[in-house]
Every structure is written in C-alpha cells, then in structure tokens.
Amino acid sequence: MNYRHAFHAGNFADVFKHIIVARIVEYLKQKPAAFRVIDTHAGPGFYDLTSDEAQRTGEWTGGVGRIVSPALAGDAAALAAPWLDAVRRVNDGDGIQYYPGSPALVRALLRPQDRLTAIELHPVDADTLRKRFEGDFQTRVIELDGWLALGAHLPPKEKRGLVLVDPPFEKEGEFERLADGLKKAHQRWPGGVYALWYPIKDARAHARFRDRLVEAAIPKIVDVTFFIRAHVDGGPLDGCGMVVVNPPYPLEAELAALLPVLRDRMADGTGATFDVARLTPERL
C-alpha cells in the first residue's frame, strides 16, 4: 500500500466527493431516526496543507483553494455550506491550512444520535484515525480491509445511512472490486445509500464500469462525472466520478445548481465539464 492521500487532500476530486457526501448526510438528517455512515477507505482523516506532501503537489490550490475565496454566492453557497463550514471550523480566520478528510467531515455533520464507522487498512493512518477519535463514543475506528466491511458490517443496526467507498485505485481491478463490492453490499442492505468514488484515467475503463453496474441489476443508480479540463487518456488526473445508489431525491437538482459553479471555479484550461447520468431506473 503506497497510496498516501496527504498528497491529494483538498484537490478538485476531494471537493467534488466531499460536497456530495455532505449533501447526502444533510439529507439523512431530515428525519430524527439515527443513521450510520460507514467509510470503508477512510484515510488519516485530517490534513495539514503546509505539509511536505501537500506542498509537493500543490493540488489543493486548484481545489479547495479555489472555493474558499472569493465567497460562493446564491444556491451554490447554501448547498456547499455544510462542507465549507466544516472546512472553516478547522481553520482560523479566512485562510486555509487544514483540510478535513471524509471521516472528519462526516463526524462534524453528525447529530448526537448518529454514528460513524471509519475503516482504514494502512496501520499508520489507522493509528492516526484512532487517536483523533479516541474517547468519541459516536465514532468507531477499525483497522481492516474495507472491502470486507461491505459484507460483515452490513446492514448496520440503525438500518439507515451511507456507505462511502473511496479506494486508492493503485491496484489493477479496482473498478471490478467496486462493482462486485456494491453488488454484494446491496444484496445485504438494499436500502442503504452508497457513494462510490473513482478516478477517470481511461474512458473505456469507465464505460466498462458503467456496463458492469447496469448488469448488476440494482435500481436507482446515478453516475456523476466531473472534469476540470478536456480528458486525455493516460494523462494527469483530469476527471473523476461518484456513483450514488439510492440517491436522496433532491440530489440531482442540487448537483444541477452546484456543479456548474464548481466546474467554473476549478477549471484548468478548456473542456471542464460534468454530467449527471441515471444508469438504472427507480424500479427494475
């Protein structure tokens, strides 16, 4: 396991992913019943953007750095607020030094009745996570292969919630693992919301992934893609996507308001674009 998220924290892909996660969590909070978020590839949870790793790539300057200022306006500001407030709360003043990863973001959004399970396999990152959430009875940190959680940990006892699957894509076969993992998880817990993040490095691999998802015969799948520039296969990362299963009903309308603003803010040259595609209908 060589992947270290510290090099990429706060980049365009994190902004895209974390805003969608925050929208889903905000939706779950509309009902008083408790829910659980299961983050199967949680990372260390918190990032210093002045660290050697973050400075070496500078990726965050093209991501969260473009969103914090100038301030967003209108609907986009309101929709991004749960995520952006969580980012602001870990920083002093208007500047930005720290960036909350998915478990820190989700934790910041939970109500007292809600729970987070954060799973991480890298022993150093798992240890960092454990220390961060020590004594927090709402959060359970587990050092484990996140793919196993899609079996054993589902459904959670709350019977409501979100499973975030955000693997590093450093090994061959990650798209197949994602699609097969979703199928297994959905059989165990058809009512859960699932958010699966992936990079788009090869357009044909993305198309095959979509075919595999459709073949899985799971209803209510939405695939959201986002590019900061015109895509070139095999080039530096210029796009990514999020598959959402059982999306909250307002999500597509929210994304229609948010994504044009995120695209314009984080565009790097020409060809920045996004798409929200329904892969499978409400009922099969």
Ligand X SMILES: C[S@@+](CC[C@H](N)C(=O)[O-])C[C@H]1O[C@@H](n2cnc3c(N)ncnc32)[C@H](O)[C@@H]1O
Q: Which residue is nearest to ligand X (CB)?
A: 101
* Binding map of ligand X across residues 72-101, x = CB under 6 A, - = no contact: -----------------------------x
The answer to whether 238 and 228 are in contact (CB under 8 A) is yes
| Residue 166 a catalytic site member | yes
In angstroms, the CA 50 to CA 53 distance is: 8
Binding test (CB under 6 A) with ligand X, winner from 85, 145, 202, 275: 145
Of 35-43, 70-78, 202-210, 271-279, which segment contacts ligand X by CB under 6 A? Answer: 35-43
Of 246, 169, 224, 167, nearest to 201 by C-alpha is: 169
Tokens at residue 104, please? Answer: 């820190």
Neighbours of 245 (CB within 10 A): 23
Provide the minimum distance between the beta carbon of 43 and ligand X in the complex, in angstroms, as a whole number. 3
In angstroms, the CA 85 to CA 178 distance is: 30
Binding test (CB under 6 A) with ligand X, winner from 20, 38, 119, 243: 119
Please pick, among 166, 211, 223, 238, the residue that the annotation labels catalytic. Answer: 166
118 near ligand X, judged by CB under 6 A = no
In angstroms, the CA 210 to CA 213 distance is: 5
In angstroms, the CA 87 to CA 167 distance is: 22
- Active-site positions read 166
Which residues here bind ligand X, judged by CB under 6 A? 1, 3, 5, 14, 17, 41-43, 101-102, 119-122, 125, 145-147, 166-168
